[in-house]
Amino acid sequence: MEDMEWAGGVPALLNRLQKFLKESITCTGKSIKEIAKEGEVWDEEVIREVNNPVRKEGGIAVLWGSLAPEGAVVKQTAVSPSMRKFRGRAKIFNGEKEALEALFKKKIKEGDIIVIRYEGPKGGPGMPEMLSPTSLVVGMGLSEGVALLTDGRFSGGTRGPCIGHISPEAAEAGPIGLLEEGDPIFIDIEKRKLEVEVPPEELKRRKKYWKKPPLKIKEGYLRRYSELVSSASKGAVLRKE
């Protein structure tokens, strides 16, 4: 962010994006196109021409597959090349606290895929950020042999092979809620794949016996939110009905 400021800041960035902007007024009293026209780029390596990007793809990627029929999100630029394709075994945790305890007790080993579920919009409730476990994975030197999956949320601070926003979430009987300890999981960021390598018939059988856990918040606004909120894939907004 500091580099960008010294390179000309937001006006300079808008200058590069002029042809993509839609005219609208801003809080400065000037229109966004006026600000873009006034912007000046002082460092071509930081704020590049549109046809000369740092990378051909954006910072995030959306993955799909049997574990994320409605999609999942990964910050692909923060994943090392060796972990962009990874196969491991599920280590199941029904909440962030359980996963943190396992990490602190050094119960996670190379080849594991940490699964933190029931932290989505309904299950959280509110889709809390999983920054603590992802930071621990990197800080403990596990990010070259351990991945993390969750129906919870990530921010821009996340690093390593961490895939979040998995939809449908566990609290809606999504596939992440049907996983069992040791299930084989395959991640392929290049091909945008997130698969649980369990036969579809077995997942159907598990779903038949799946039981929705009780709401974590039993009164007030958060209870209503838990009951009415939509999937993360639809914006985690309140449904009209």
Q: Using CA atoms, how far apart are residues 203 and 175, in angstroms rounded to an integer?
A: 7
| Under 8 Å between Cβ of 95 and 116 | yes
Tokens 């080993």 label which residue? 109
* Backbone torsion region of residue 118, taken as left when φ is above 0, otherwise alpha when ψ lies between -120 and 50, otherwise beta: left
Tokens matching residue 101: 């305890």
- DSSP, collapsed to helix, strand or coil, labels residue 134 as helix
Cis ω before 128 (30° cut-off from 0):
no
What are the CA-CA distances from residue 58 to residues 11, 61, 73, 77, 106 (Å)?
Answer: 21, 7, 12, 8, 34
Q: Which of 135, 155, 167, 230 is catalytic?
A: 155
Give the chain's length. Answer: 241
The string of DSSP letters for 99-121 reads: HHHHHHTT---TTEEEEE-S-ST
Report the number of secondary-structure helices (H) and strands (E) in the chain: 8, 8
Max intra-chain CA distance, the chain: 62
- DSSP, collapsed to helix, strand or coil, labels residue 218 as coil
| Under 8 Å between Cβ of 122 and 238 | no
Whether 155 is catalytic is yes
Could you give the residue numbers annotated as active site?
Answer: 155
